Amino acid sequence: MTKADIVNEISKNTGIEKITVQKTVEAFMEVVKDSLTKEKNVYLRGFGSFIVKKRAKKTARNISKNTTIIIPEHSIPAFKPAKTFIGKVKSNVKK
């Protein structure tokens, strides 16, 4: 599902114009990005959390040049779904 699909679905379900829904969705995404950039997690009860994970410094290999490189400590964005969300997805899986 793309952002356009999400906008269409919300617009269809709520009756709100697509342009308004699109601005709202984009504003939400900007707030999440800005918060994570400032290393502030975003918690959405019943849905999940957008969090900042720390990756430790590590040594890696560049196989094509046969050299060792150091990857410095860094942060990455991540999503951790809520337990209720996980349960809903698990129960919906076809067997």
Q: Tell me: the pLDDT tens digits for 74-94?
A: 999 999 999 999 999 988 876
23-80 pLDDT tens trace: 999 999 999 999 999 999 999 999 999 999 999 999 999 889 999 999 999 999 999 9
Nearest-10 Cα torsion for 26, 28, 31, 33: -70
Q: Could you tell me which CATH number the domain at 3-91 has?
A: 4.10.520.10
Tokens representing 54? 């720390």
Show the tokens assigned to 74. 């860094």
Q: Three-class SS string for the chain?
A: CCHHHHHHHHHHHHCCCHHHHHHHHHHHHHHHHHHHHCCCCEEECCCEEEEEEEECCEEEEECCCCEEEEECCEEEEEEEECHHHHHHHHHCCCC
**Strand-pair category, 58-62 with 42-44:** unpaired
The structural domains of the chain, with segments of one domain joined by +, span 3-91
